Amino acid sequence: MRNYLVAILMGTVFLLAGCATSGGKSVAEKRAAVESMRSNVLSQLYAQKPDVQQQIASSAGYAVFDNANVNVIFASFGGGYGVAVNRQTGARTYMNMAEAGLGLGIGAKDFSIVMVFHSQSALARFIEHGWAFGGNADAAAKHKHQGGAVAAEVVVDDVTVYSLTETGLALQAVLKGTKFWVDDELN
C-alpha cells in the first residue's frame, strides 16, 4: 500500500510539472503565454465580479496565476505560473508558484488566482518574499462552462485574493503553504 501511495504522489508531481508551464519555447513566447493567461483570467473575473475591475484600477498592483492542484487523501500538491503587475510603474514580474498541504481531500482541479494589492508595501513584500500560509476548504465539479465551484474571496494583510476554477473535480479541506518566487528566466 505504501508503494502505491508513493507512486501516486510521484505521478502527481510529474503531472503538476507538466500543467504548471507557461508554454512556448523562447522567453518571448513564454511571456506572451503568461500575458494571454493574465488577460483571459481577468476577463473571466470581471464577468463574474464587475466591481473587481475598479478595485484593480485603484490598487497598487495585482498578480494573476494559473495553478493546477491535486489532492490525494491526506496530501495536496500544486504548481503554476503568473505575473505580478505594479500599477504605478507598469513593471511586470513573472513568477512561479508551488504549494503543498495536509488535510482531507481527493481530486484535481485547474484554477486561477487573482491577488489585488492595496498598498505598495504589500506588493513589494509579495514579490520579495512570496510566501503564503493558510487554510483552504472548497468543492469543485466543473468542466469549462458546465458545473460549479465554491471558493472564498479572502482579504488578508492589504491583499484581496480571488479564486476561479476552470476545470476539476475536487473536495478538500487542507492547511497549506504556497511559495511564489520570481522566474529568473522571464525577468
Mean pLDDT, the chain, integer:
76
Q: Cell numbers at residue 39, please?
A: 488577460
Nearest-angstrom CA–CA distance, 93 and 127: 8
Determine contact, residues 104/176, Cβ cutoff 8 Å.
no
Mean pLDDT of 36-49: 93
Angle subtended at Cα 22 by Cα 177 and Cα 62, rounded to the nearest 5 degrees: 60
pLDDT digits (tens, 9 = 90+) for 119-170: 999 999 999 998 776 554 444 444 444 444 434 456 677 898 888 876 544 4
Burial of 144 (0-12, 13-18, 19+ CB in 10 A): exposed
Prediction pTM value: 0.75
How high is the pLDDT of residue 166? 63
How high is the pLDDT of residue 158? 86
Higher pLDDT, 91 or 152: 91
